Amino acid sequence: MSVKNIGRSSGLKGTVCVPGDKSISHRAVMLGSIALGTTEITNFLEGADCLATIGCFRKMGVEIEQRQECILVHGKGLRGLRPPAGILDVGNSGTTTRLISGILCGQDFTSVLSGDASLNSRPMGRIITPLRNMGASVTSVNGNGCAPLKIEPGRIHGIHYESPVASAQVKSAVLLAGLYADNTTSVTEPSLSRNHTELMLQNFGAALSAAMHPDGRATAELAPCTELYGRQIHVPGDISSAAYFIAAGLTVPGSELLLKNVGTNFTRAGFLTVCQNMGARVTRLNETVQGGEARADLLVTPGRLHGTVIEGDLIPSLIDEIPVIAVMAACAEGTTVIRDAAELKVKETDRIATVTENLRAMGACVTPTEDGMIIEGRGGLKGAFIESHMDHRIAMAFAVAALSAEGESRINNSQCVDVSYPAFWETLDMLR
Ligand code: S3P
pLDDT digits (tens, 9 = 90+) for 69-97: 999 999 999 999 999 999 999 999 999 99
Q: Give the DSSP letter string of 204-261.
A: TT--EEEEE-TTS-EEEEE---S-EE--EEEPPBPHHHHHHHHHHHHHSTT-EEEEEE
State residue 1's pLDDT score: 78
Give mean pLDDT, residues 366-380: 96
Residue ranges lining ligand 1, Cβ < 6 Å: 23, 95, 167-169, 172, 193-194, 319-320, 343
Query: What percent of the chain has pLDDT above 90?
Result: 99
pTM above the 0.85 mark? Answer: yes
How many CB atoms are closer than 10 A to CB 163? 19
Q: Are 201 and 176 in contact (CB under 8 A)?
A: no
Probe residue for ligand 1, chosen from 169, 192, 315 as the CB with the greatest number of ligand atoms within 8 Å: 169
State residue 184's pLDDT score: 98
State residue 305's pLDDT score: 97
Question: Of 21, 49, 238, 320, which residue is the catalytic one?
Answer: 320
pLDDT digits (tens, 9 = 90+) for 323-364: 999 999 999 999 999 999 999 999 999 999 999 999 999 999
Question: Catalytic residue at 320?
Answer: yes
The long-range contacts involving 206-214, CB below 8 angstroms and separated by at least 24 positions, are 206/179, 208/175, 213/188
Q: Are 173 and 167 in contact (CB under 8 A)?
A: no
Reported as a pLDDT band with limits 50, 70 and 90, residue 379 is confident
pLDDT digits (tens, 9 = 90+) for 91-141: 999 999 999 999 999 999 999 999 999 999 999 999 999 999 999 999 999
The alpha-carbon radius of gyration of the chain (Å, integer) is 21
Torsion over CA: 173, 179, 181, 186 (sign): positive
Q: Are 316 and 340 in contact (CB under 8 A)?
A: no
Distance between CA atoms of 231 and 71, rounded to whole angstroms? Answer: 12
pLDDT above 90 (res 303): no
Task: Provide the mean pLDDT of the chain.
Answer: 98
Give mean pLDDT, residues 48-69: 98
